[in-house]
Structure 1
């Protein structure tokens, strides 16, 4: 985040502090003892008001370069987010909205703000990298829904195989017990 953006954030924090607006209305901001009317979203304060309850001069932000999302008393617009080479632009920056970026196919967002896109890959046991094809931006480290479904299918099949093996073992034990009983009965009769 650049120094200009930090300055604007500090200014927004000061403008929204409860004590700072004690005498100003909800759609006003304090400036040198006056209560100036906020500029509309998509604009900024070029010149503050010279009398309370009036609006100063509001200038528009630069389309595609800067924006303000809400009514404000800012002395400048917020710079638009620039999508990087490893990202695609989902929504361009407008006067009232920042750009929205998403990692390109084969990459995922490594952090909450999606400032870093990392390539989806796994290491094969022999040390070779296996690239995974995904644009999943919400599950870092999980390649995609298809892989998750595959794991569930394997798990379900494994449980089914275990149940079949357990049933076969139980049947063999019952058959063996039945043969042992017949042998025992046969031995009693022959004596």
Structure 2
């Protein structure tokens, strides 16, 4: 039975001793550990942090940490206490820069000259202005060239559909004037032995051929599109028959 007691009780005693020692060693937040010798033995005690120092966590340190001091470009947000450090922030009109490339921590806020303020300056962020690199939602810096191209394309299309039919009509009228009354010599040879009747018949055939050619040209003009060629050949020689 004795050895069972040793196995069970001894670990509990050791754990209690460690806990008591730890509790005696650690001091609460806002306190630091001191050690004094009285009557030849060491006496440990926790003392409160002096003014301007603090301890934010339980510790066995023998001193407290000095509170931070705000710079000239900063202002105090929260004063130092035995359990917390002093909190500082940039003064109004400045913002804090925590980047390693910043030579200073507080910078003067940017002013938006002639542009809209998207985000005002605060203690941790500079002013964001609506510039070309930050366009307003719904707008685009490349929209006006597209409008110019569309306008030029539309103007060209309108001019094409107006001018081309006019030019085609002028050319067609000029072609009609040049072909009016034209008689193909190869198709209207009159021999001396034909007589007056054959000459009259040849004259009527020539007149009929000219009228047929004008009718064919007009029909050809109406049926072709605005971009088709305008010049058409004379009617086939087989379209007329000569009586002998």
Taking structure 1 as the reference length, the TM-score comes to 0.54
CA contact (8 A) 1:105 1:135 kept: no
What is the CA RMSD across the aligned residues, in angstroms?
A: 4.3
Alpha-carbon distance between aligned partners in 2 of 1:170 and 1:97, rounded to the nearest angstrom: 71
Which of these residues, 117, 122, 138, is aligned with residue 136 of structure 1?
122
Alpha-carbon distance between aligned partners in 2 of 1:178 and 1:56, rounded to the nearest angstrom: 105
Q: Deviations over 1:148-185 (max 9, x none)?
A: 47842399263443443343233223324433543465
Counterpart in 2 of 1:92?
79
Counterpart in 2 of 1:3?
none
Asked if 1:165 corresponds to 2:148, the answer is yes
Which of these residues, 107, 112, 116, is aligned with residue 118 of structure 1?
107
Counterpart in 1 of 2:218?
none
Tell me, which stretches of 5 or more residues in structure 1 are unaligned?
Answer: 1-23, 29-33, 49-54, 125-133
What is the CA distance between 1:101 and its match in structure 2?
1.1
CA contact (8 A) 1:104 1:135 kept: no
Distance 1:68 1:163, change over 3 A: farther
Q: Deviations over 1:34-91 (max 9, x none)?
A: 755321111111228xxxxxx931111135x111111112111111111122112122
What is the CA distance between 1:104 and its match in structure 2?
0.9
**Which structure's residues are more often helix, by fraction?**
2
Which of these residues, 15, 19, 28, is aligned with residue 40 of structure 1?
28
Structure whose CA Rg is larger: 2
What does 1:1-191 correspond to in 2, within 5 Å?
37-47=25-35, 56-63=44-51, 65-112=52-99, 116-120=105-109, 135-139=121-125, 143-145=126-128, 147-148=129-130, 151-153=134-136, 156=139, 158-183=141-166, 185-186=168-169, 189-190=172-173, 191=175
User: Greater relative contact order: 1 or 2 (C-alpha under 8 angstroms, separation 6 or more)?
Assistant: 1
CA contact (8 A) 1:103 1:135 kept: no
Alpha-carbon distance between aligned partners in 1 of 2:44 and 2:58, rounded to the nearest angstrom: 13
